[in-house]
Chains A and B, each alone.
Chain A
Amino acid sequence: MSDATASEFEQLGASVSARRRFLRRFMRQRTALFALGFLVLLALGAVFAPWVAPYDPLAQNLDRVLEAPSLAHWFGTDELGRDVLSRTLFAARISLLAAFQAVLIALVIGVPPGLIAGLAGGRTDNLIMRLTDALMSFPPLILAVAIVAALGPSLTNAMIAVGILLSPTFLRLMRGTAMAVAQETYVEAARSIGCTQSWIIMRHILPNVVSPLFVQISVFAGVAMLAEAGLSFLGLGAQPPDSSWGAMVGRGFRYISHSPSLIVFPGLAIAVTVLAFYVLGDGLRDSLGREIRREE
């Protein structure tokens, strides 16, 4: 066994135990575990909505419109007599999917240029960072509205806009990690024995950024969900017959004085889910070793 592979082996061992330490610390975070449990339950509820929901979310019953919560309809009924609980469950699908879509777009837009900026340095780095600064100087929601205005109102376009807004943070995180890791002796060593750039990225940089990235992903899932809810509330996101929680609140707005429950329940669903994402993110951050913890 050559020296290089021996050190690789040691490093692999070290990273495995670091992961184990991380897991052990995370298992001690009760609130974060609770939040994770809630999110898993919610996701299951969304996936199995057709079986879990008491009614068909689109079935109208014009004899029972705008009813207050009752035993038959726990969350009441909407202006077309549809069951609000069933609609809330089905809307969870759209809200959750949209949030992940936005985070995924942000990762795709943010991670590669961040890596390039951090590794290339110099002019390339300067150019990419200037672009990022410019992007961050826009008031976020106004930029999102402008992008949706140009592309046309739809949930996917709204999530593209939100993804663009969230990407600078991922970019900066990647760039910072890439720059820091590139300075390390072990990367210099890897380079000196002729390891390729892509090997260094896969083997040294990505493993280092995974944990802080997960923290950010969790928090941004919450942020994206809020942004989606806001845009859908304005009518710029989910379009009928699809309904997200934000869109439900937007529709319920018209009946606010008669049926507050139309607004209360989907709004609570957003708040609790976003809070769960934040708490999970906080828990993940607290579980990271002090040496790689970052305040972003």
Chain B
Amino acid sequence: MLNFILQRLLALVPLLFIVSLLVFSLVLIIPGDPAYMLAGEDATPEEIAAIRTDMGLDDPALVQYARWTAGVLRGDLGTSLFSDQPVLEVLLERLPVTISLAAAAIVFSLLISIPAGVIAGTRPGSVADRVVTLGASTGLAIPNFWLGLMLILIFAIWNGWLPATGYVPLSESPAAWLRHILLPAFTLGLSAAAILTRQLRGAMIDVMNQDYIRTARAKGLAWRFVVLKHGLKNAAIPMVTILGLQANYLLGGTVIVEQIFGMPGLGQLAVASVFTRDLPMIQGVVVMAVFVAVFVNLLVDISYGWFNPKVRPQ
């Protein structure tokens, strides 16, 4: 198992190398002179020249890349052009908000998709199955920002049951955290719930046609026991993979959801930084997001090896 983990970690090296190249090249695709952009519209040529030297923009791209990567490896992501704070400091401040939002969204999507997928997958073609399938397609088609606004309208503005915006750390008050996270987590998690439901439904249909299910039923095991113990347990394995893939999408989705619900997370920071043209901050957000995504996928890979010894290298 340790070998397996080491091998996975090693495989990340070339991946992260290419990712770092891509993130760095964001500076290179800026049309025109980045120094000009960073200096603002009424900068003098001297100021721009100073910024060029300061940023090392006169060096060859390769040297700039090496310097940037060396910084990232040391945990130095540069300084915000907008607030002059170290980028990493700002990111670490906001990371818990995004993580708790994404985690709540995952929990929520599992709470919906497991019962829905099991009900639909054990009775394919039934009315319940059709309702679930249509619901899943609809869940995929609804834009999450629109869903979020509708939820705010219904639950916050019209009825005042839940707060429309803001965030309270879990450590401060679990109850307030839950009240603030419910609507955003629902908004973010719905499409993941839809995808997981479709996946689980398909897997359940396959599994329920297996011989061992027939055997289990023939020997008189209770239906519920057969479905949960023999059916769901086997159908759930591919769900782990899908969940890993969804982690990427959920992190991406936080960009919109945090904006709507006024949550001070990474996504909101990314959007705000576009408007202030704070490129080091954006690069930092991307690096941080990729880091989290890669880490989650590593965990998924490892858990997969744990569940299924066949994928472990011999």
Residues of A within 8 A of B (CB): 130-131, 133-153, 222, 226, 229-230, 233-236, 246, 249-250, 253, 256-257, 260, 263-264, 267, 270-272, 274-275, 278-279, 282
Contacts and interface: CB of A to CB of B under 8 A. Distances in A.
B70 interface: no
B77 interface: no
Nearest to B275: A235
Contacts, number: 152
Nearest to A257: B157
Contacts of B250: 139
Interface residues of B, number: 53
Contacts of A152: 31
A138 B293 contact: yes
A164 to B, nearest CB: 10
A146 B30 contact: no
Given A145-B282, A256-B152, 16 more contacts: A138-B293, A140-B249, A141-B253, A146-B286, A150-B26, A150-B27, A226-B143, A229-B145, A230-B143, A234-B271, A249-B145, A249-B149, A250-B145, A260-B153, A272-B141, A275-B137
B222 interface: no
Interface string B147-163: 00110110001000000
Given A146-B283, A271-B143, A137 B150 contact: no
Given A150-B26, A236-B271, A138 B143 contact: no
B142 A138 contact: no
Interface string B236-250: 000000000000111
Nearest to A126: B14
13 contacts: A134-B19, A139-B252, A141-B255, A145-B271, A146-B286, A150-B27, A150-B29, A150-B279, A230-B255, A234-B259, A260-B153, A270-B146, A278-B141
A151 B30 contact: yes
A271 B142 contact: yes
Contact of A271 (B146, B255, B275): B146
A165 B272 CA distance: 22
A220 to B, nearest CB: 13
B254 to A, nearest CB: 8
A151 B143 contact: no
